[in-house]
Each structure stands twice: as C-alpha cells, then as structure tokens.
Chains A and B, each alone.
Chain A
Amino acid sequence: MRTLAGLTLIAVLALTIQAQDKSAPTRVDLAAYGVSGHEAAADLAESLGARLVLHELDEQSLPASCWAVRKKATPPAATALLGQALGCQSLYDPQSATLHLYRPGAVLGGSKVKGYDVSVLAGRFVEYVNSYGIARQPVKPGEEAEPERTAAEHLAGVLEEMLWDPRGAEFDASVVGDRLLYTTDESSHSRIREALDLLMAEHGGESAALKDERAAVEKLKEAKFSGELTGTPVASVLTEICAAAGLGVVLGPEFAEFACEEHIDFKPEAGSAWEALHSLLVRMREQDIRVDFTVRGDALVLESEDAGVGSGYRVYDISDLLKKLEASYQRQRTAPGKVEGYEGDLRRAGGNQVVLRSLDEQLEAAHAPGNSDCMVFGNRLIVRGGNSAVNAATQILKEMGWEEPGK
C-alpha cells in the first residue's frame, strides 16, 4: 500500500515538474547588444515561450539597432524595457503566450473604462480661484470670449501634461461633471491613480518613477567604477558602468543608433559609477549629443533629450507659500495715486503663476540637466523631470519661501 502511495506521489511530482516546464518562465534575461529591433523582440518572445505579434508595425518600422541589457527580469519588466528600447508599446499576455508590440499612441488590447471622482480636487481648485484667481479681462468689441473651463476640465489638462508619454498609450479624458473618465490599459490607470493621489495628498509627494530614479542614482553613487576601456562602443561603456551598480541598461532607439556606432577610449578617474556616468554624459554633451535618462525596473533607460523619456514628477503643496506671498504683496501696497506706488495684490500679480514663472526662469538659468516641465493646478505645483531637475526645483522653491513639509 505504502509503495503504491509513494509511486503515486512520484508520478504527481513528475507531472507537476513537467507542467512547470511548460508554463512561462518567472525570470528572463534581456540581452540585445546592438541587434535589430525585430531580432531583439523575437529573442525575448522565445525566452518567454511566447509568440511575437506586431500591431500596425512591421520589421522595417522597428529600429535597426537595439540595446537592452537586463538580467533576470520579470516578464512584465523585460517587456516594458523592450518597449523602451524599441520606442513603441509592448504588452506580454501570459494567457495567450503572446508578446504584442503596438505603435505609440495605440489603444492596447484589454483597455477598460474607469471613472475618477475628482470632486475634492475640483472643490480645492474652486477655493483657490475664489481666493487668488487672476481677474478676467473684459472682452474687446469684435473678439470672442475664451471658453470657460470647469475645475475638472483644468485638472484633465494638467493630468495630460503630467502623464504625457510620447511613446506610450494615448488616452483622452472625458470630463463629466466632477468625474474624469479614461479608457486605457491597467498600467496607465495606475499612473492616473497615482497622480490623483499625489495631488490629493496633504503635502504632495514624489511619483514612484522618481523614487526609482533616486534609488538607482544612490546605487550608482555607492558603486565603484575603475574600468579602462579603449575603442569601445559608447553602449558597452554605459553597460559596464551600470553593471558595476547592479543595474541593467536600455538605450532608446534615437540614442542607440549613435551609441552602438561610436567607439571611444574611456578611462575615468577612480571613483563612483555615478561620477563615471556623469563624466561620460558631459563628454557626449560636448559632442552635442544631449542625453536624458530615467529608470524602469532596475535598468537605466537613456535616450536623446528631445525624446522626453522621463516620466517622474513631484507634486508640491504651495498653499502656505501662496499665503505668505499674499501677505508680502499686501505689505508692499502703498498709498493710492503714487507714481512709484503699488496697489495690487497676489491675485493681480498672477496668483500661482507668480511661483510658476519664477520657477521656470530660475530652472532655465540653473541649466538643470534633462528635460523638466512645471505646471500648476490651484495650490498644487508639479515639476516633471528627473532627479536633478526636481532637486533644483526644490531648492528654488525653498529660496522663494516654500518649506519642506515636516521641517
């Protein structure tokens, strides 16, 4: 009887192992060292045991050079990184064992509609407009008044800017009362939810993408790099630097073309991987190759600055700063009717635009590396950009009188 039970157990175990063999792997290596985009996609599909399906794309429309290196990535992470390297959208469906590639802006399969109740944020915006909103100029004869927008419509516009991804999904919001409706894939819904949560949070906060970038920069700062590379493609140099910090590297299609072709001698002074990376980026900047980077799934994604790969941002609560500014404008009021006098207030000065304008000017003057965009929604200010740009913005805001929460 025992023998029979033992044999049954062995048979069950064997079947289980066989079944596991057939199922999709839990970790895969992404290893595309300058191969064509189609070859890289086909290789990943093979590793995943999946079929490759191109939607409104063909072999020729994928980049000629693809550089994507990341060891032991989860299938979704590897798929997302491949999309970054190819400059298109990618989706791995384990159910049908299919790796889908879509053109940028296409609606991915499995999109769902979600309605977001933004009544609290809309209410705050109404309060802001009532307190500090710029006065409307009377419409001149023969001119048409600008169409009015509700608070929720203003919010939809800000979200579009915050979450804009030139190579990702395009999702149009519908504004119905104080709800925003989006029909998009699950990852885009997560980004919308995150943005709304950060706008709602008492003191704002940083997006997960920005936190990931900070963590990766810390790893690069902690890692030592002392390689001496001669006649090596830029892409390989970057891979070495990132590998020293245990990070993968993915080059966007525009930068990959240059980085795979250009061979350099690279002998940085012994220091951290971050210093080595910085010195390489400065060296390329001298050749007029301006590169920006972001972090996805423990891999550095580098692409030419114009492509706008960065998706991190920080939300600042500037309500206290606005109160301070209102008081300071009040203090600067003079008796009426004086040539050098001032009779205005924060509302007349532009409300939150006072902060936004100054921040834009000072960020430009600071030459903060990488792209950055600043936008406002009532008493929330958003800086979209990489780690350095956000640090620079925080410093400028502090100089304006903004205080870090909890300090």
Chain B
Amino acid sequence: MQRTALCLLLIAAGLVVATAPASAEPEVERTVDCVYPGEVLATALGDLATQLGYTFEPGELAETYELEQQIWVLARGVTARRAAELISASGGVRVSLDDANRLLTVSEEPEKPEAGKVRAFKVDALCRQYLDYQKRYGLRGGPAQPDVLYQPTAAEELRDAAAEILQLGDEAPGSAVGKRLIYTRGASDLARLEELFRLMESAGESQALRQDRENREGLKKMHTEFSDDQILLSAVLWRLFKECEAPIYIDHSLMQSLDFEYDTTELRFSADTSHYDVLLALAREQEFAVDSMHGALRLHQAYFSGSASYQVFDVSGLLIDLEKQYAELKTDAESLEGFQGDLRSEGGVQVIVDALCIQLENAGCAPLVRAFGSRVVVSGGVDVIDRAAEVMTAMGWENGLAKDGERK
C-alpha cells in the first residue's frame, strides 16, 4: 500500500516537472563571440550590439577619435558582460549594457571608482601573525632607530600592504579600527580585498593567477613556425590570437605603444617553439607583461594598476632556517671581519624581499614584492610568479602548495 502511494507520488512529481512553464527554468546567460583582433572599436561595438539584438548608441563619443581606434580582443562564447569588459579594457572606454532598453552605450572611462558599499574585515589572525613575527624578527625601533617615525599597528600595516598589493590608489582608503579594516569601495574591490586577506592567512595563489595558469595551457599545445626574417608584429599577434583557446586581449595601456602597421619583430621561431614561448619572447622583446584579467589573457603595460594576479608565500619556515644560519655565521671575537648580528639585525623578512627583488631584476622582471610579517606577496603573471618561486626555492623555501594553488 505504502509502495503504491510512493509510486503515485513520484509520477505526480514527474508530471509537475514536465508540465512546468518554461519561464521557471533558470535563464542561461547569453553568450557572444568577440572576434576583434585589430578591429575598429566602433565596428566591434556595432557587431556586439547586433549579436545581442541591441541598439548601439555612441552618445558623446560619436564621430570622435576614440571610436576609430583599434582594439585587439578575441573571446569566443563569453557572456555579454564579459565581452563588454574586454572591449572596454582594450579600447580604454566604458561599454555599458542596458538590458531593459536593449541599448549598448559607450562613454569615456570614469575617473572615480564605482560607488561602493561599506564593509569591515576582521583581521585578528593576521594581526597576531604579524605581532609574532615582529617579536621574533622585527627590527628594533626606539632609540636604536631614531629615524623611524611611522610605527603602524599590525592592522594599519596590513591596510598599507593591501593598498600596495592591490594598487587601490589614493581614493577611498581603508580605515584601521582596532583589529578591523573598514573599506567603502565597489563590489569587485571588496572581493579582491577579501581574497587577499584570506590568502594572507593560508598562503597560495589568487584566483586571477590560477585563471592565468589555465589560460596559458592552451598556448603551450600550439606550435607554429614563423620563419620570415622581418615579421610584422601584428602578423605574429594575429596568429597567436587566432589559435588561442582562452579569451585574450591587448590592454589599452599597450595599444598606445604599438604600431601594428609598421612594427616588426626580430624573433624567429622553430617548429618546436610553442605559442606560449612565442608570446613570452614577444613580451620580452616589446617590453610588455602578460597576466590574466576579466578571465582573459591580458597583454599590457599597466604595471601600476589593479592586477589581481599574485601569490602569497608563507616564509615562516624559511625565517626559522635563516635565523639558525645567521646564528652559525656569528664569530666569537670582536674581530674586524667578524659578524655579531642575527636575522633581526640583518632585516628579518627584508633579507628575503631584497634577494627576491635583485634576482628577479637580474632576470629582467621587476614585479611588486611586498612583505607583511612572515608573508611575502609577489604580484604578476604566471611567468613572473614561477620565476619568483624558483628564487624562493633557491633560498631554501619549500613549496607547501597543493595542485589547486592553496596551502597544503
């Protein structure tokens, strides 16, 4: 009896699901293809509007130079929002979608950050970690360091570190209140701050860096021979873009320093050179950086603005090891060539930061490196971060990250 009732119930449930109105289904976000490598911005926007069934309204930028500029974006099957972000980033404009009125509009890049919400972050654990570091390795202040006037609390130091690492700019700074940091910023900045504070505790790679790793995989599989003596830069880029599985774009910061009509490359590649190697070699030659932003590979020269691609290294183990090493380097006499110091007098974590900066500079890259207690953050794309990890390993640091980039 019970079984029959259960069967009837299941059949009824099935009928309900089958006859439910279509509108109750979760709406799948519509995707578009942005195939705009070397395309005029106005044409690209017109095409995007057509794909969406929207009307393109150039507004105040109508018949201006901005709309006649080239953009380099190639992203297939991306959401309309993502497409607008990529075109905006390459064109140096702000593309907006008005779904209610089915309008695609374009305006100049806003100078001020988006209006935000207030949010507080409790940073007790990070403050504790910083204090532990200071007690053991921190440089002595007070009379020994009379020039050091700014002596921030752990929370203030964390606020300053976050502002540097995420390049938050001078607008809307954070406030340190006890062991809380309070920010009034846009949703994306708040998400970046949340991620940074989380990674400062656990160490590991940011989401943008993991995305960057994933984006580059496809390029490593592709091989092509560019054998002419003088190859147009735009021809190489076109090939790289065309065959790139991941979305890719050239940021506006780089668009302005390349001449796609005349610039050539001195590089020549054999058949076994992967597209990834080609891209890195081009980056070295043309002096641009590669990372991932808006989910896409970004070729850029925006070294001092908002990349979210970084790795937090936990160097507490290395500091313990170094403390021991400096103790062993002590001499027992007041000798002219002797050493009476320790890791603290040598600068604590600054020993690691200095070595990292010098060796990365010798390798031709100068990323942002910032320490907070026993955490060292290196900002940049996968190639830079991997080099930084090599330098850290050469110092004796041991990688404790799992494959997903989080701390084991």
Contact = CB atoms under 8 A, between A and B. Distances in A.
B333 A133 contact: yes
Contacts of B79: none
B80 to A, nearest CB: 41
Interface in A311-341: none
Contacts of B339: 148-151
Contact of A136 (B273, B334, B343, B391): B334
Contact of A177 (B272, B321, B387): B321
A4 interface: no
A150 B395 contact: no
Chain A facing B: main interface SS: mixed
A114 B364 contact: no
Contacts of B394: 113-115, 179, 181
A332 to B, nearest CB: 22
Contacts, number: 129
Nearest to A184: B362
A397 B336 CA distance: 25
Interface residues of B, number: 46
B75 to A, nearest CB: 30
Contact of B331 (A95, A112, A126, A175): A126
Contacts of A136: 334-336, 338
Nearest to A123: B328
Contact of A181 (B332, B333, B364, B391): B391
B177 interface: no
A174 B284 contact: no
A221 B359 CA distance: 45
Interface stretch (B2-10, B116-124, B263-271, B298-306): B263-271
Contact of B358 (A97, A154, A172): A172
Contact of A183 (B329, B351, B362): B362
B203 to A, nearest CB: 19
B340 interface: yes
Given A176-B395, A181-B355, A134 B337 contact: yes
A133 B355 contact: no
Contacts of B396: 115, 176-177, 179
B363 to A, nearest CB: 5
B395 A126 contact: no
A148 B341 contact: yes
Contacts of A95: 270, 272-273
Contacts of B322: 176-177
Given A129-B335, A179-B394, A172 B362 contact: yes
Contacts of B334: 135-136
B96 interface: no
Contacts of B270: 95-97
B231 to A, nearest CB: 12
Contacts of A182: 359, 362
B329 A122 contact: yes
Contacts of A130: 331-333, 335
A102 to B, nearest CB: 12
B333 A113 contact: no
Nearest to A112: B390
A162 interface: no
A210 B269 CA distance: 38
B358 A174 contact: yes
A327 to B, nearest CB: 20
Contacts of B325: 119, 177-179
B398 interface: no
Nearest to B340: A148
A183 B358 CA distance: 9
A113 B387 contact: yes
A136 B266 CA distance: 56
Interface in A92-131: 95-98, 107, 109, 111-115, 119, 122-123, 126, 129-130
Given A133-B336, A134-B335, A171-B362, A178 B329 contact: yes
Contacts of B284: 109
Nearest to B329: A150
Interface in B351-408: 351-352, 354-355, 358-360, 362-364, 387, 390-391, 393-396
B229 interface: yes
Q: Which of B334, B339, B346, B387 has the most CB of A within 10 A?
A: B339
Nearest to B227: A97
A27 interface: no
Contacts of B360: 183
Nearest to A127: B331
B330 interface: yes
A171 B362 CA distance: 7
A392 interface: no
B326 interface: yes
A178 to B, nearest CB: 5
A172 B354 CA distance: 12
A251 interface: no
A159 to B, nearest CB: 15
Contacts of B340: 148
Given A113-B390, A179-B396, A135 B362 contact: no
Contacts of A126: 328-331
A24 to B, nearest CB: 11
Contacts of B395: 115, 176-177, 179, 181
A1 to B, nearest CB: 35
A219 interface: no
Contacts of B267: 96
A178 B328 contact: yes
Interface in B17-46: none
Contacts of B328: 119, 122-123, 126, 178
A322 to B, nearest CB: 14
A350 B272 CA distance: 60
A53 B230 CA distance: 12
Contacts of B330: 126
Given A136-B334, A151-B329, A183-B363, 9 more contacts: A96-B268, A113-B362, A129-B338, A133-B336, A136-B335, A148-B340, A171-B362, A179-B325, A183-B359
Interface of A: 51, 53, 95-98, 107, 109, 111-115, 119, 122-123, 126, 129-130, 133-137, 148-152, 154, 171-172, 174-179, 181-184
10 contacts: A51-B229, A107-B363, A126-B331, A129-B335, A130-B332, A133-B331, A136-B338, A178-B329, A181-B391, A183-B363
The 8 closest A-B pairs by CB, nearest first: A115-B394, A133-B335, A177-B325, A174-B355, A183-B362, A177-B322, A134-B336, A150-B329
